[in-house]
Amino acid sequence: MSNVRLPDVTAESDTPRRVLLAPSLLASDFTRLGDELQAIAGADWAHVDVMDGQFVPNISFGLPILAAARAASPLFMDVHLMIDRPERYLKDFADAGADGLTVHVESTPHIHRAVQQIRELGKKAGVTLNPGTPLETLRPLLPDVDLVLIMSVNPGFGGQKFIPHSLDRIRTVRRWLDELGSAAELQVDGGVGPTNARAVVNAGASNLVAGSAVFGPGGAQAGLERLREALK
Ligand code: DX5
Ligand code: ZN
């Protein structure tokens, strides 16, 4: 028997990618928000999931919680707006401490204007779409955004299972961004944890959101460490 190692078929890219980790505060203990932010001080971003009970079938939190998180932590506040017609509130979220604002293509007929408004506010502009929405809907926006978020669950709730087909969507957007020479972040959100983080990055992601995988039993610091280990 020879001992020859087979090539690693999961390695889709031979250039190592730097990966930013963005724990989602949705899964944190809100009674201890300041401590939870301390526990993720070693992360790159804090992901802030805002839900309005209209665009998604759940209500999470809004401006005052973002302002509290902002006051308690120097982390980049990455705000994911799951709200109808987000352009109505972009300035309010910018004023409350957002560093980046991500809007859904399905949430407004004027998605490009929303992206322009975010940039005019001096914030990083992100665009995203639900798992059932064709990727082509975000293609015209790619030259003008700082971040593309591929949702790997249907937005509205934490703790759901990663939809496997999302890997193909990540690969396609990675190719489009590379063709454009874009340095935009390619973020993935939903069901990401130590068991699939490597595959998600190999497919082309540069930025991982994780809620339940970070703020689990044992504390967020350990959760973050498990995620980093899985990416080594
Ligand atoms: C879903 C949110 C996600 C969610 C991720 O609507 O956008 O950010 O909190 O949670 P996990 O990592 O538990 O799937
Ligand atoms: Zn999110």
Mean pLDDT of 53-72: 98
* Model pLDDT, residue 127: 99
Confidence of residue 3 (pLDDT cuts 50, 70, 90): very low
Q: Which of 29, 49, 52, 144 is catalytic?
A: 49
Residue 49 marked ligand-binding? yes
More confident residue, 10 or 76: 76
The number of the ligand nearest the C-alpha atom of 126 reads 2
Q: Which of 52, 78, 146, 189 is catalytic?
A: 189
CB within 8 Å of 113: residues ≥ 6 apart: 87
Mean pLDDT of 105-127: 98
Q: Please confirm, yes or no, whether 189 is among the known catalytic residues.
A: yes
Residues having CB within 6 Å of any atom of ligand 1: 24, 26-27, 47, 49, 80, 153, 155-156, 158-160, 189-192, 209-213
Mean pLDDT of 27-41: 98
Residue 80 marked ligand-binding? yes
Cβ atoms 129, 135 nearer than 8 A: yes
Q: Please confirm, yes or no, whether 49 is among the known catalytic residues.
A: yes
Q: Which of 21, 24, 56 to mutate to test ligand 1, by most ligand atoms within 8 A of the CB atom?
A: 24
* Model pLDDT, residue 15: 56
Residue 123: DSSP 8-state: S
Instruction: Calculate how far, in angstroms, residue 213's C-alpha sits from the geometric centre of ligand 1.
Output: 10
pLDDT surpassing 70 at residue 2: no
The number of the ligand nearest the C-alpha atom of 153 reads 1
CB within 8 Å of 129: residues ≥ 6 apart: 104, 105, 106, 135, 137, 138, 150, 151
> Which atom of ligand 1 is least distant from the CA of 193?
12
Q: How many residues comprise the chain?
A: 232
Cβ atoms 169, 129 nearer than 8 A: no
* Model pLDDT, residue 17: 78
Instruction: Calculate how far, in angstroms, residue 4's C-alpha sits from the geometric centre of ligand 2.
Output: 43
Model pTM score: 0.94
Distance from C-alpha of 94 to C-alpha of 122, rounded to nearest angstrom: 9
> Which atom of ligand 1 is least distant from the CA of 190?
14
Residues with CB under 5 A from ligand 2 (ion): 49, 80, 189
Distance from C-alpha of 28 to C-alpha of 22, rounded to nearest angstrom: 13
Residue 168: DSSP 8-state: H
Q: In what order do the strands lie in the sheet with 76-82?
A: 20-23, 207-210, 185-189, 147-151, 124-129, 100-104, 76-82, 45-51
Instruction: Calculate how far, in angstroms, residue 58's C-alpha sits from the geometric centre of ligand 1.
Output: 12
Encode pLDDT of 137-177 as tens digits: 999 999 999 999 999 999 999 999 999 999 999 999 999 99
Residue 30 marked ligand-binding? no
